[in-house]
Amino acid sequence: MNSKQQFQIGNVAIGGDAPVVVQSMTNTDTADVQASVAQCKRMIDAGAQMVRLTVPSLKEVEPLREIQKRLKSDGYGHIPLVADVHFNPKVAEAVATFMNKVRVNPGNFTDKRNFSQLDLSDSEYAAQVERMALRAKPLFEICKQHDTAVRIGINHGSLCDRIVSRYGNTPEAMVQSALEWLEICEQYDFHKVVISMKSSNVLTMMTATKLLHDSMLQRNMSYPLHLGVTEAGNDREGRVKSAAGIGALLLMGIGDTIRVSLTEPPENESPFGHKLVKSIENLDVKKLQIQDKVLVYEDDEADEECWMCCAAAAAGYAHFHHKLREVQLHNPHFSEMQNADLAKLVMQACRIKILNTEFVACPSCGRTQYDIQSVFSAVKQRFAGYPGLKIGVMGCIVNGPGEMADADYGLVGASNGLVCVYEGKKRVSEPMLPEAAMEVLEKFVRCSVESEIP
């Protein structure tokens, strides 16, 4: 891959000419040591080469240390563990003393996301960046001392008000947020850094990552890049979305680690991730046939998931460079109808043609307190067939509303098995059982569809 800088995260080499690393993330409560250890083992057995766990508060720090200890003693210590931290620099500092990597989100490290338009002068803006840099200093000092890596995880859905007010909610804004943090890292002479630019919109994720890649080259920086499409959902749709975004970037020679996020048991993620990496190695973009903005892609790949990976990655790559208007797929191992169905999914994922409701759903994590997998499947079934409508199903109230802010409607997890209904960014119901929330959601969807009938 293009990144020149290579370093070790635990036993795993990342960046430079190291192979692409396939990661995954648990969705257990991190305080539940037994369940988390068991899930980590299933994920590692399924091929995860790095495992991330959420650490919502200081309460989960000691359980996390215990999880690491038990995995080591049970022979799983060769897999690096990553702590996922939002909102709380103190938690990041605590876990940085023993984890292999800490993921922080610049959108919520010290900044806030209240969807407010801030009118900051240049000096006020610079003062806020300086405040963030000062608050991040202890984390980088601890990481240097303990040889811990940091992932700067930019999410399109959780950019802070300061960045959005100045640069819009755009790929360029994501790049600015990443560059601010890279400059802070360089200021503290800290270089064990991985960056990710995630979005549930495949084109936004691709554009932001490519822009950051190019911006780093211009600045003579070469930090490894982690790739992923957030809230991709589940089943074929989730896999196709991930393959389109991640696969297209890998085809451009960009990306050092990947995660295929699925609203499914986490052990399903890595097998598909490995198939994606392998499929890309065998795909030659010079052979793509594009005429009059139509991609005609032929292959004789017999494995259905590999065929899915190749078709989605080829389409993502071709659409990024040529703004396609159609994708046609041909593979003799599958019927014409199967190929046409896959082409529709690929076009929807890349937003070449929107033919169905767009669903986004987070993969869930230790913050989720309801059965998101079955609720999401029920939502998909009930609200299919509304092209132009976007519905989100998110695990928690902490990050969910921000991450699905461009959805028309959504369900967001509250506590104790309950969810709230959202209309855009606004909560429109009290916490309630998912079945009741779906009834409320149905009323909103009907109203919105009927109001569009002339």
d(CA 432, CA 411): 10
DSSP state of 384: -
- Nearer to ligand SF4 (CB atom), residue 132 or residue 361: 361
Residue 365 touches ligand SF4, criterion: CB under 6 A: yes
226, 195, 209, 191: which is closest to 5 by C-alpha? 191
Residue 245 touches ligand SF4, criterion: CB under 6 A: no
Question: Given CA atoms 434, 437, 443, 449 in this order, what sign does their dihedral have?
Answer: negative
Q: What is the helix (H) or strand (E) element at residue 92, kind and residue range?
A: helix 89-95
Nearest residue to ligand SF4, scored by beta-carbon proximity: 395
Residue 159 touches ligand SF4, criterion: CB under 6 A: no
What residues form DSSP beta bridges with 422? 410, 427
Supply the minimum distance, in Å, between the C-beta of residue 400 and ligand SF4.
Answer: 4
Contacts to ligand SF4 from residues 373-402, by CB under 6 A: 394-396, 398-400
d(CA 94, CA 88): 10
d(CA 365, CA 381): 23
Q: Vertex 100, ends 99 and 101: CA angle to 5°?
A: 95
Length reported for the chain: 454
Instruction: Work out which of 80, 247, 363, 410 binds ligand SF4, going by CB under 6 A.
Output: 363
Instruction: Work out which of 113, 151, 213, 367 binds ligand SF4, going by CB under 6 A.
Output: 367
- Nearer to ligand SF4 (CB atom), residue 70 or residue 103: 103
Piece in contact with ligand SF4 (CB under 6 A), picked from 14-22, 236-244, 339-347, 362-370:
362-370
Supply the minimum distance, in Å, between the C-beta of residue 93 and ligand SF4.
Answer: 20
Supply the minimum distance, in Å, between the C-beta of residue 393 and ligand SF4.
Answer: 9
Piece in contact with ligand SF4 (CB under 6 A), picked from 61-69, 113-121, 274-282, 358-366:
358-366
Supply the minimum distance, in Å, between the C-beta of residue 339 and ligand SF4.
Answer: 33
- Nearer to ligand SF4 (CB atom), residue 362 or residue 445: 362
Instruction: Work out which of 242, 364, 377, 429 binds ligand SF4, going by CB under 6 A.
Output: 364
Residue 362 touches ligand SF4, criterion: CB under 6 A: yes
d(CA 119, CA 418): 37
Note the Cα 91 to chain centre separation in Å.
Answer: 21
Contact characters 399-438, ligand SF4, x per CB under 6 A: xx--x-----------------------------------
- Nearer to ligand SF4 (CB atom), residue 25 or residue 244: 25
DSSP state of 199: B
DSSP state of 385: S
- By DSSP bridging, strand 358-361 and strand 326-330 are unpaired
Piece in contact with ligand SF4 (CB under 6 A), picked from 34-42, 196-204, 250-258, 364-372:
364-372
Note the Cα 385 to chain centre separation in Å.
Answer: 25
Six token digits for residue 39: 């899930």
DSSP state of 156: G
Residue 105 touches ligand SF4, criterion: CB under 6 A: no
Supply the minimum distance, in Å, between the C-beta of residue 16 and ligand SF4.
Answer: 30
Note the Cα 293 to chain centre separation in Å.
Answer: 29
Query: In sequence order, which residues have a C-beta less than 8 Å from that of residue 385 and are 6 or more positions away?
Result: 356, 357
- Nearer to ligand SF4 (CB atom), residue 295 or residue 405: 405
Residue 229 touches ligand SF4, criterion: CB under 6 A: no
d(CA 367, CA 350): 30
Residue 199 touches ligand SF4, criterion: CB under 6 A: no
- Nearer to ligand SF4 (CB atom), residue 345 or residue 360: 360
Supply the minimum distance, in Å, between the C-beta of residue 104 and ligand SF4.
Answer: 13
Supply the minimum distance, in Å, between the C-beta of residue 398 and ligand SF4.
Answer: 6
Note the Cα 207 to chain centre separation in Å.
Answer: 14
Residues in touch with ligand SF4 (CB under 6 A): 362-365, 367-368, 394-396, 398-400, 403
